[in-house]
Structure 1
Amino acid sequence: MFKKGGSLSYQPWLYSASIDGCRFVKRPYHPIALIVYRLFKPFSNLNHTCPYEGSILVKGFYLRWNILPNAIPTGEYMLSMNWIFSNNSTLLTNAYFVFKEDA
């Protein structure tokens, strides 16, 4: 997770984790990955354990704030995910969003 700083570049913010996706899908074990998984699962075909064959699709995704555990400070954010399969970096996903606290 990155937050845009004063220099107008994204800086690491709050969370950084490496997750074994096959292990995680069998039995979710990391709280931050669980939040991200709950955000994407209803919009994807990530519904079975490894080995995962075929395309992984995400369609119609929108950010549902009620899944986030706590409010975050007003700002511009980037959730960056590097997907590694069989020890090879396969896909880099960046999701950008702006959050504004209620006044």
Structure 2
Amino acid sequence: MCYIFKGAVIFKLTNAVCESYNKSWVEFGVCRLRAVNRNKVCLNVDANLLHPVHDVIVKAQLFKRANGYKPWLYSVNFDGCQFIRRRNNALIRIVWDLFKEYSTLNHSCPYVGLQQVKNFYLRSEKLPTPIPTGDYLLMIDWIFTKKPQAATNIYFTFVEDLKDS
């Protein structure tokens, strides 16, 4: 769990699940949370891409838990290679800004070999606006050459600062 305190704000990672649909394309060596201290837990993901990837479509959905995880505000598909070149989608840029300094994905296509997210933790000060208190799931499907190849599901909790409301 990753607790980040800013007043009464709690932004915490609670689980990470990675799955390869095609182990001849993608292998996950690491997909786990690691406790650093009682207030900070980091996400580490090692994905080994066994072939050069020139065509990446990312399908991302944000779910909020309410009697199970239900679709919430966002469901977006985007060209990952184009986004890295132009950073032209404001919503995706918010998520990108959260983890870009912890990732090796900050170069243009093709991607091949080890791709990592290392020691990533959530920081509420990086969000332009607060989100409602609740448990969330960010579900990401990675589509290479028009075929789903892998998925990464990141679970987190957000508790908003209600003193300033």
**Higher gyration radius (CA):** 2
Amino acid at match of 2:82: R
Q: Does 1:10 align with 2:87?
A: no
Q: Which runs of 5+ in 1 are unaligned?
A: none
Task: Give a deviation string over 1:11-70, Cα, whole Å, max 9, x none.
Answer: 011111001000000001111111111112111101210111222111111111111111
Task: Please give the alpha-carbon distance, in whole angstroms, between the structure 1 residues aligned to 2:96 and 2:115.
Answer: 13
Task: Please give the alpha-carbon distance, in whole angstroms, between the structure 2 residues aligned to 1:60 and 1:47.
Answer: 16
Runs of 4+ displaced beyond 6 Å: none
Given the alignment, which residue of 153, 158, 165 partners 1:94? Answer: 153
Q: Secondary structure at the match of 1:18?
A: strand
Aligned counterparts, 1:4-83, within 5 A: 4-5=65-66, 7=67, 9-83=68-142
Identity %: 50
How does the TM-score come out when normalised to structure 1?
A: 0.91
Deviation at 1:87, TM superposition (A): 1.4
Task: Please give the alpha-carbon distance, in whole angstroms, between the structure 2 residues aligned to 1:32 and 1:95.
Answer: 17
Q: How many pairs were matched up? A: 101
Deviation at 1:81, TM superposition (A): 0.8
**Structure ranking higher in strand proportion:** 2
Deviation at 1:73, TM superposition (A): 0.8
Indicate the RMSD between aligned Cα atoms, in angstroms.
1.1
Q: Secondary structure at the match of 1:34?
A: helix
Q: Secondary structure at the match of 2:84?
A: helix
Amino acid at match of 1:4: R
